[in-house]
Structure 1
Amino acid sequence: MPQQVRGVIARAKGAPTELVTINIPDPGPGEAVVAIKACGVCHTDLHYREGGIGDDYPYLLGHEAAGIVESVGDGVTDLEPGDYVILNWRAVCGSCRACKRGRPWYCFATFNADQKMTLEDGTELSPALGIGAFADKTLVAAGQCTKVDPDARPAAAGLLGCGIMAGLGAAINTGGVSRGDSVAVIGCGGVGSAAIAGARLAGASKIIAIDVDDRKLEGAKQLGATDVINSRNADPVEAVQGLTGGFGADVVIDAVGRPETWKQAFYARDLAGTVVLVGVPTPEMQLELPLLDVFGRGGSLKSSWYGDCLPERDFPMLIDLYLQGRLPLDSFVSEEIGIDGVDQAFETMAAGQVLRSVVVMEG
């Protein structure tokens, strides 16, 4: 039977969020209804509210979530009610040109639920990243559900659904960090801090954290940074070179996504080093760089989409590492809040006071 549940929506650009009643249809073919246990408050949700992604209002916000499969539609064979899952926004199709070439993490045809969730008056909702998890329950494509060990705490596990996976993957998957590498990370918010944790997990010998906030730099030390640079007080390129024998880091990860930070990453790497852009630029940003410098330094310049992750491969592995005590996901949970606290969490996030606020559902 269709259900009515609570959900947090953005009705118009820049307007405060609203906690409203939404309609959840029964799952159709290839779909699943998931009861949400916890959902992180991500910058992407704020971008939706502020019109930075589109204007397909009203949006049902929330996407970094863990929950329990409640029901599945026809044709779903790899999920069943009771499964504990992390939701993902890369439900790979298996048949596009990227998937056929064995690169499903670049899937060009990821899919979402066909049916729409609605307001009580029938207005169709646009779920954030095809998920919409600031809600008691949500409707998704079955491929957006990745089964993991149910012993993982939902508030921590759900964060793998977006920002933490983006940072970890930028280091491990895109950057290819390996044992003995030197790594610099520019920007130590949630994504940058996850990149630091990923570099540590991969065995990097030197991990340099760069930020303008001493609080974030202190947190970066707890996650594995061996050195920190406050770029208000020191030139980050010179400081990184000074910490790496004058050469620069093997991998530099820009978790900010601004032209000036990308240039810092470019010049702070070793001659054949790798630059990874995982911070998200805005449409008006432009980059100007001498082409000869690009040619003369060699190496790799990469962008990391969702940490180049494959959810069915990466989520279970990372949850296992978390349960073994090798991946400190709990350290990213700065506070747990109720479903009515999303706007306040946006303000706290904008002030740089948290790595993640996490909405924890009642029951």
Structure 2
Amino acid sequence: MPQQVQGVISRSKDAPVELVTINVPDPGPGEAVVKVQACGVCHTDLHYVQGGIGDDYPYLLGHEAAGIVESVGEGVADLEPGDYVILNWRAVCGTCRACKRGRPWYCFNTFNATQKMTLEDGTELSAALGIGAFIDKTLVAAGQCTKVDPAAEPEVAGLLGCGVMAGLGAAINTGNVGRGDSVAVIGCGGVGVAAIAGARLAGAATIIAVDIDERKLAKATELGATHTINSKDTDAVEGIQALTDGNGADVVIDAVGRPETYKQAFYARDLAGTVVLVGVPTPQMQLELPLLDVFGRGGSLKSSWYGDCLPSRDFPLLIDLYRQGRLPLDAFVTETIGIGEVDVAFEKMHGGEVLRSVVVL
């Protein structure tokens, strides 16, 4: 039977978030209901509140989540009640042109649950990134559930559902960082420091963290940066070049997503180096670069979608690395909070006080 649970919504642009009663339907064909155990508070959720992603209000917020499958709908064959899962927002279709070419991490037809969760008056909710996990139980497509080792705590495991995976994947999957490479990461929030952790995991020799906040640079050092640059005091491009024998880094990752930081990344890479954009720009941003410089410097200019991850491949592997002590996911959790404290967590995030607040249900 349909259930009524508590969840956090954004009713309109810039309105305070609200904890309200939400109707969760029984799972239909290809769907699952998941009891959420923990969900990270991500910048993407704040973008929904601020109208930076769309205007399909009201939004059910939250998406970096782990939990237990409670029930599944008709036709679900590889998932059953009791499975411990991380939720993902790129459930691959298996039939689009990217999937058929063996590149499912680029799937052009990812899908979500068909049914909608609603408010008590029947108003349909738009689930953040097709998940909506600031809630006791959520309805998702079964393909959005990735089974992992249940020994990993949910407040840690759930972070792979978005920001941490985006950063790790930007370095490992998109940037193809290899042993001995030099890497620079511009912007050391949650995604940026995850990229640093990914570069260390991949064996990079020089890992340069760039930010204007000494607290973030300290966390970057904890997670693997060999050098730091405070770009309030030092030109980022000159600083990166000085640390790489005047050449620039093999891979530069822009985890901010602004024209200014992208230009820094472009000019701070070595000839034939790689730029990876993983920070999300806003719709009005424009970029100008001399086309001759684009041609003359060679290399690759890439965008990283969700760290170009394949959840079924990457989530279990990264959880195993965490369990082996090789990936310090615990370091990303600044605090755990209750579901009624999401608005305070947004304020702390905006002020740079936390790397990740995690709602524990």
TM-score interval (norm. to shorter):
over 0.9
SS of 1:294's partner is: helix
Residue 119 of structure 1: aligned partner? 119
Residue 248 of structure 1: aligned partner? 248
Q: How does 1:30-109 map to 2 (within 5 A)?
A: 30-109=30-109
Residue 313 of structure 2: aligned partner? 313
CA RMSD of aligned residues (A): 0.5
Matched letter for residue 245 of structure 1? D
Matched, 1:203 2:203: yes
User: What runs of 5+ residues in structure 2 fail to find an aligned partner?
Assistant: none
TM-score (norm 2): 1.00
CA distance in 2, matches of 1:199, 1:152: 22
1:56-99 per-residue CA deviation (whole Å, 9 max, x = no partner) reads: 11110000000000000000010000000000000000000110
1:133-152 per-residue CA deviation (whole Å, 9 max, x = no partner) reads: 00000000000000000000
SS of 1:166's partner is: helix
CA distance in 2, matches of 1:236, 1:125: 43
1:133-177 per-residue CA deviation (whole Å, 9 max, x = no partner) reads: 000000000000000000001001000000000000000000000
1:1-24 per-residue CA deviation (whole Å, 9 max, x = no partner) reads: 110000000011110000000001
Residue 23 of structure 2: aligned partner? 23
Q: How does 1:319-358 map to 2 (within 5 A)?
A: 319-358=319-358
CA distance in 2, matches of 1:340, 1:169: 31
Percent identity over paired residues: 83
CA distance in 1, matches of 2:15, 2:154: 29
Q: CA deviation at 1:50?
A: 1.1
User: What runs of 5+ residues in structure 1 fail to find an aligned partner?
Assistant: none
Runs of 4+ with >6 A deviation:
none
Q: CA deviation at 1:41?
A: 0.3
1:98-127 per-residue CA deviation (whole Å, 9 max, x = no partner) reads: 101111011010000001101111111110
CA distance in 1, matches of 2:121, 2:77: 34
SS of 1:113's partner is: coil
SS of 1:7's partner is: strand
SS of 2:102's partner is: coil
Matched letter for residue 113 of structure 2? A
Matched, 1:2 2:2: yes
CA distance in 2, matches of 1:302, 1:352: 27
SS of 1:13's partner is: coil
Q: How does 1:114-263 map to 2 (within 5 A)?
A: 114-263=114-263
1:176-230 per-residue CA deviation (whole Å, 9 max, x = no partner) reads: 0010000000000000000000000000000000000011101110000000000
Q: How many residues align?
A: 361
